[in-house]
Amino acid sequence: MIHKEIRIVKEDIDRRVLPFVRQPGRYIGGEVNQVKKDLGGCESRVALCFPDVYEIGMSYGGMAILYEILNGIDGVCCERVFAPWSDAEEILRKEGLPLFSMESCGNVGDFDIIGFSLTNELCYANLLNMIDLAGLEVRAENRSDDDPVVIVGGQAANCAEPISAFADMFVLGEGEEMVVELVELYRQIKKNGGGKRDFLLAAAQTFSYVYVPGFYELADAGSGEYLKPTVEGLRTRFENAIVKDFDAAALPEKPIVPFVEAVHERISVEIMRGCPGRCRFCQASFCRRPVRVRTVETIVEAAKKQYAATGFDTISLLSLSTADYPYLDELIDALKAEFQPRNVGLSVPSLKVQKQLQLLPKMMTTVRKAGLTIAVEAASEKLRQIINKPISDEDLCAAVSAAFEAGFQKVKLYFMVGFPEETEEDIVGIVDLAHRIASLRREVEGKPAQVNAAVSWLVPKPHTPFGWLGQKDAGYFERAKELILDRKYELRAKFLRFKFHEVEHSVLESAMGRGGRELCDVVEAAWRAGAKFDLWREHFDVTLWEQAFAGAGLDLAAKAQQTFATDEALPWAHLGGPAQDTLLKHYHQATELK
């Protein structure tokens, strides 16, 4: 592996790009707490990439953690890279300028390692677009030994096959310790005169969380495996990296303060990793195991450091299920004592309704009261049993009533449509339950509450008990929207507002998430036809994807609705996640609740 000199294009960006884009603040860097090292003086240079715009990526906590860890290693420098919006991309391509890093405006294609955090299947086209803008071939097999190592982590690594042709390596699981191990191995191989393939092979042989797709091919039919190695001795199943001592795991101490308003600008502290619950539609609750917690002292100290470094006026407690943090009462007391005198508020994510009842007195003086948020998911108790989310209507209404009495004005509810055994009555029940919750406020102030309900469509996820099931067809979801809106009209409930997820987004997410290597050609064809920023409504064009599927002899809708036999080799089962026996147990329990 040669040590390239990184081309710096700052002057070109300042003169030929920034004056002509709508939001130049997305590209200028130089923010408070930015870390800028000498690229020429570092042994290893890492471009940490997020496949969306600046204000989205700057709200992603995982990126902030890796940024501080990598820049804390002597001889290693890490710089951020975000997907340029369409106006900036047009200029870069027209002017022949490369994708560049925020800190130094360095050509991303000259870095040693390009690492992507992929959190959603609808970012796949942006992955290819950023690799191409960096001046690299999008397919790993076409890149040379002197090109950077392209590594993909995040949620996509647990269902990597649809983009396996484009990454040199996938890393599964939690990154705090993994990233240090990988960088140290890279430096060792490089110091000993090894090349990129040497590094990839050593990583694949050493770490159970590393998947190098170039060392595998499809297994023979009937073998019971999806892949077989082309290099002798390599494993066929991979495990998620796990940080065992979570309390000692790295936390951002000096988060970067963005110049452009980010989606989330606040002090963010992850208080617990993993979830004791087992919602059968939730990939994170099955993949991010075991449950680990941070101490109250660690959390408060982290919040104090971040406050001193940023001045943000809200603290957000992050976890998959904040209500299950065992010391939540004590934590709220400690944060209240430390930060209430500074007028710093506390944002507590959606809590289980039983916990909301217990914490309301404390929350009223500490938590910002914009509204109460509850992820109900299903309107009927029967469906909640099927999805393994045991919330009773009695507890739900009691929690909301107590919140209204304590002064909360609004309620936000999350629902999902498309569960097994769901009926039209269940769908209409979403409106009836929302109406019932809104009406509880009449007892306090004589008028109903404003209820905002977000309705999404079930996407069967890999590594969940519902992963074997096909998604409902698009017509089913469109009919569900009609039923909900018609029922709202019947009730003349102007105080109910419903927001629906894009059906086409969910269909594509389902098709891509449970796909295999046959989808690599689809992803590339869609990107070459113009697909990018598929998470953005103004950019998303489902016809590009339909045509790409058709060009590969596939059908997008049929792929989304595909069901799998419980004994077949799944294209994701080898990529981390729980044992199939665990998932099958939940699968059978759900299907028996009819």
pLDDT, tens digit (0-9, with 9 covering 90-100), for 53-95? 999 999 888 999 999 999 999 999 999 999 999 999 999 999 9
Mean pLDDT value across residues 118-136: 96
Contact 209, 178 (CB under 8 A): yes
Q: Token digits for 343? A: 């007028």
Residues of the chain with CATH 3.40.50.280: 10-229
pLDDT for 460 equals: 96
Contact 76, 41 (CB under 8 A): no
Residues of the chain with CATH 3.30.750.210: 266-368
Contact 442, 405 (CB under 8 A): no
pLDDT at 359 over 70: no
Q: What distance in Å separates the CA atoms of residue 102 and residue 111, rounded to the nearest whole number?
A: 13
Question: Cα–chain-centroid distance for residue 333?
Answer: 30
Distances from the Cα of 366 to the Cα of 270, 404, 543, angstroms: 18, 16, 48
Q: Which residue has the higher pLDDT, 505 or 222?
A: 505
Q: Residue 260 — pLDDT band, cuts 50, 70, 90?
A: confident
pLDDT at 358 over 70: no
Judged by average pLDDT, the poorest of 69-83, 228-242, 285-299, 392-406 is 392-406
pLDDT for 221 equals: 84
Compute how many other C-beta atoms are within 10 angstroms of the C-beta atom of residue 499.
10
pLDDT at 164 over 90: yes
Phi, psi (5° rounding) for residue 439? -70, -20
Q: What distance in Å separates the CA atoms of residue 583 and residue 588, rounded to the nearest whole number?
A: 9
Beta partners for residue 107, in sequence order: 100
Compute how many other C-beta atoms are within 10 angstroms of the C-beta atom of residue 171.
26
How confident is the model over 571-583, as pLDDT tens digits?
Answer: 999 999 898 999 9
Q: What distance in Å separates the CA atoms of residue 47 and residue 100, rounded to the nearest whole number?
A: 9
Q: Residue 417 — pLDDT band, cuts 50, 70, 90?
A: very high
pLDDT at 193 over 80: yes
How confident is the model over 428-452, as pLDDT tens digits?
Answer: 999 999 999 999 988 888 889 899 9
Compute how many other C-beta atoms are within 10 angstroms of the C-beta atom of residue 225.
14
pLDDT for 418 equals: 97
Mean pLDDT value across residues 290-314: 95
Compute how many other C-beta atoms are within 10 angstroms of the C-beta atom of residue 312.
18
pLDDT at 256 over 90: yes
What is the torsional sign of CA 320, 321, 326, 330? positive
**Domain range 10-229, its CATH number among 2.60.40.1730, 1.10.238.10, 3.40.50.280, 3.40.50.620:** 3.40.50.280
Q: Which residue has the higher pLDDT, 139 or 394?
A: 139
pLDDT at 196 over 90: yes
Q: What distance in Å separates the CA atoms of residue 453 and residue 435, rounded to the nearest whole number?
A: 10
Judged by average pLDDT, the poorest of 14-18, 138-142, 440-444 is 440-444
Which numeric CATH code is attached to 266-368?
Answer: 3.30.750.210
Average pLDDT, the chain: 92
Q: What distance in Å separates the CA atoms of residue 474 and residue 178, rounded to the nearest whole number?
A: 40
The edge-to-edge listing of strands for the beta sheet with 450-457 is 372-377, 410-417, 450-457, 496-500
pLDDT for 474 equals: 97
Find the helix packing angle between 503-513 and 474-491, rounded to 10°: 150
pLDDT for 402 equals: 80
How confident is the model over 471-503, as pLDDT tens digits?
Answer: 999 999 999 999 999 999 999 989 999 999 999
Phi, psi (5° rounding) for residue 512? -75, -40
Q: What distance in Å separates the CA atoms of residue 185 and residue 203, rounded to the nearest whole number?
A: 7
pLDDT for 61 equals: 87
Architecture of the domain whose range is 370-453+464-497+580-594: 2-Layer Sandwich (3.30)
Q: What b/e sequence results for 480-496 when a residue is b if at least 16 CB atoms lie within 10 Å of its CB, and e otherwise?
A: bbebbeebbeeeebebb
How confident is the model over 317-342, as pLDDT tens digits?
Answer: 888 888 788 998 899 889 989 998 99
Q: Three-state SS for 345?
A: strand
Of the candidates 494, 428, 489, 504, which has an alpha carbon nearest to the alpha carbon of residue 459? Answer: 504
pLDDT at 565 over 90: yes
Contact 35, 66 (CB under 8 A): no
Q: What distance in Å separates the CA atoms of residue 507 and residue 560, rounded to the nearest whole number?
A: 6
pLDDT for 371 equals: 64
Judged by average pLDDT, the poorest of 10-24, 277-291, 417-431 is 277-291
Contact 346, 379 (CB under 8 A): no
pLDDT at 351 over 90: no
pLDDT at 354 over 80: no
pLDDT for 577 equals: 87
pLDDT at 403 over 60: yes
Report which DSSP code applies to 473. Answer: P
Q: Residue 289 — pLDDT band, cuts 50, 70, 90?
A: confident
What does DSSP say about strands 216-218 and 227-229: parallel, antiparallel, or unpaired? antiparallel
How confident is the model over 539-549, as pLDDT tens digits?
Answer: 999 999 999 99
- Angle formed at CA 586 by CA 581 and CA 589, multiple of 5 degrees: 125
Residues of the chain with CATH 3.30.750.200: 370-453+464-497+580-594
Mean pLDDT value across residues 293-316: 95
Q: Residue 399 — pLDDT band, cuts 50, 70, 90?
A: confident
* Residue that the structure tokens 């979830």 belong to: 275
pLDDT for 23 equals: 94
pLDDT for 33 equals: 96
Provide CB contacts within 8 A for 338, sequence distance 6+.
300, 303, 304
pLDDT for 222 equals: 81
Mean pLDDT value across residues 298-316: 94
Q: Residue 161 — pLDDT band, cuts 50, 70, 90?
A: very high
Contact 557, 209 (CB under 8 A): no
Q: Residue 464 — pLDDT band, cuts 50, 70, 90?
A: very high
* Residue that the structure tokens 């075991």 belong to: 290
pLDDT for 339 equals: 92
pLDDT for 353 equals: 58
pLDDT for 224 equals: 85
How confident is the model over 213-236, as pLDDT tens digits?
Answer: 999 999 998 888 999 999 999 999
Mean pLDDT value across residues 332-358: 76
pLDDT for 350 equals: 58
Q: What distance in Å separates the CA atoms of residue 455 and residue 416, rounded to the nearest whole number?
A: 5
Report which DSSP code applies to 449. Answer: P
